[in-house]
Amino acid sequence: TRGDMPTIDPLRIVAKEMKFLTGNIRKLLGSGHPSLDRAAKYYTQAEGKHVRPLIVLLMSRATSLCPKTPQRQQATLQASAAIDSSLSPLSVLSDFNPSATPESESVLSTDPDILPSQRRLAEITELIHTASLLHDDVIDHSESRRGSPSANLEFGNKMAVLAGDFLLGRASVALARLRHAEVIELLATVIANLVEGEFMQLKNTARDEKNPQWSEEALTYYLQKTYLKTASLISKSCRAAALLGGSDAATVDAAYMYGKNLGLAFQLVDDLLDYTRSGQELGKPAGADLELGLATAPLLFAWKTMPELGSLVGRKFEKEGDVARARDLVMQSDGIEQTRALAEDYAERAIAAISIFPDSEAKNGLVEMAVKTLERKK
Ligand code: FPP
Ligand code: MG
Ligand code: MG
């Protein structure tokens, strides 16, 4: 359906802001303690995809053209004033590191339709995401991330966990400085949601049974978990971006629905790539989900037509040969295709959600992000 449409590069639309992202994040993470400093900044070295900040910046630009709410505009002005006066490193940074000099490049990259508070929000989303990766790699005993040794492998579990906590602490300070209570509440909820999603995943299914039967409930549980683990951060930060811009209620809701559906599509694709790509291609271990005992969408769809998967799910693929057998059954089934179809469905819903936005380059960028989510290979 893409026909002869010129290719849109979402990154180009907010390139100026993206250029300063990693540098600004590293400034937010400065610590006077050299080994904490190193562990905290470790995942900012390798080039991540920066999907979440990219979406926040595109959403900020796209909603700048949408209708505004008068009271909200007041909060917006407050948020912008607060961020302008704190763009020099957070004062806590200079407390820890007296030699830190105030830097202001981040102010120089100002784009008229993206507010400083929205740029800071983009940085906060990446900080929260990176914190969750530090913790996730400990929980998953993962040995690689973004094509390099994982932080837990490099620094050990204790330091990796503490580095994640430090990122959350600094993200919270930056968030508080936005002086926007509703936005603070949204992002604080995201942090809780990440933990809730991870807990649901540890339990894997709602009920503990030896030989569970397939039921719609298994899929509902998986989707709820996926919302908490992945889509909550994307959707609530899209909502926060619209709020910071002073958008009206319909725009704020549309931004949220875009993020929610995109987030679900994103994780569904992630879960199918775990089956279809190699570790080399992904820059992180492939086939990891079954090894971790996790039944994700491809398996849940396969299970519907292959009841023998039930006992394997029940014992979390722990018995010798279970992982290989489950993998074979999934590959023989239409589980991958069904997962892709569901991801396409969510991507379409994401695009439909922002159809009320006036046409703009940034809106096209958001549409392209949904298309790219389906096409991505890593
Ligand atoms: C990656 O999933 C992990 C997440 C999206 C969230 C993990 C959340 C926690 C560990 C909760 C506590 C953390 C914080 C900071 C609140 P994955 O393991 O499926 O992906 P991967 O293949 O990239 O490792
Ligand atoms: Mg993991
Ligand atoms: Mg995990």
Q: pLDDT band at 76, cuts 50/70/90? A: low
> Alpha helices of 177-320 — where are they, by DSSP H?
181-203, 216-226, 232-244, 249-276, 279-282, 288-291, 297-305, 309-314
Token output for 315? 């014992």
ipTM of this predicted structure: 0.94
The amino acid at 121: L
Q: Of the bound ligands, which one is closest to the alpha carbon of residue 199?
A: 1
Q: State the average pLDDT for the chain.
A: 88
The residues placing their C-beta within 5 Å of ligand 3, an ion, are 136, 140
Phi, psi of 333 (to 5 degrees): -85, 180
Q: What is the 3-state secondary structure (H, E, C) of 121-159?
A: HHHHHHHHHHHHHHHHHHHCCCCEECCEECHHHHHCHHH
Looking at residue 100, what DSSP letter applies? P
Mean pLDDT over 245-260 rounds to 97
pLDDT in tens, 240-252: 999 999 999 999 9
The Cα diameter of the chain in Å comes to 64
What integer pLDDT is reported at residue 35 of this predicted model? 95
Token output for 138? 């400990």
List, chain by chain if needed, residues with CB within 6 Å of any ligand 1 atom. 131-132, 135-136, 139-140, 142, 164, 168, 191, 194-195, 198, 229-230, 284, 288
More confident position, 286 or 161: 161
Closest residue CA from atom 18 of ligand 1: 136
Q: Yes or no: say if 115 and 245 are a contact pair by the CB < 8 Å rule.
A: yes
pLDDT in tens, 9-62: 898 888 888 888 999 999 999 999 999 999 999 999 887 889 999 999 999 999
Q: Yes or no: say if 261 and 317 are a contact pair by the CB < 8 Å rule.
A: no
What integer pLDDT is reported at residue 8 of this predicted model? 81
What integer pLDDT is reported at residue 2 of this predicted model? 54
Distance (Å) from CA 286 to ligand 3 centroid: 12
Residue 6 predicted with pLDDT over 80: no
From 75, 94, 153, select the one nearest 83 (Cα to Cα): 75
Mean pLDDT over 93-107 rounds to 39
Distance (Å) from CA 293 to ligand 3 centroid: 11
Q: pLDDT band at 138, cuts 50/70/90? A: very high
Q: pLDDT band at 90, cuts 50/70/90? A: very low
Mean pLDDT over 190-196 rounds to 98
How much is the pTM?
0.88
Residue 95 predicted with pLDDT over 50: no
What integer pLDDT is reported at residue 187 of this predicted model? 98
Distance (Å) from CA 76 to ligand 2 centroid: 36
Residue 104 predicted with pLDDT over 90: no
Q: Of the bound ligands, which one is closest to the alpha carbon of residue 134?
A: 1
Closest residue CA from atom 17 of ligand 1: 136
Q: pLDDT band at 100, cuts 50/70/90? A: very low
Closest residue CA from atom 12 of ligand 1: 195
Residue 74 predicted with pLDDT over 50: yes
* CA distances from residue 106 to 44, 147, 166 in whole angstroms, order as listed: 17, 28, 22
Closest residue CA from atom 22 of ligand 1: 284
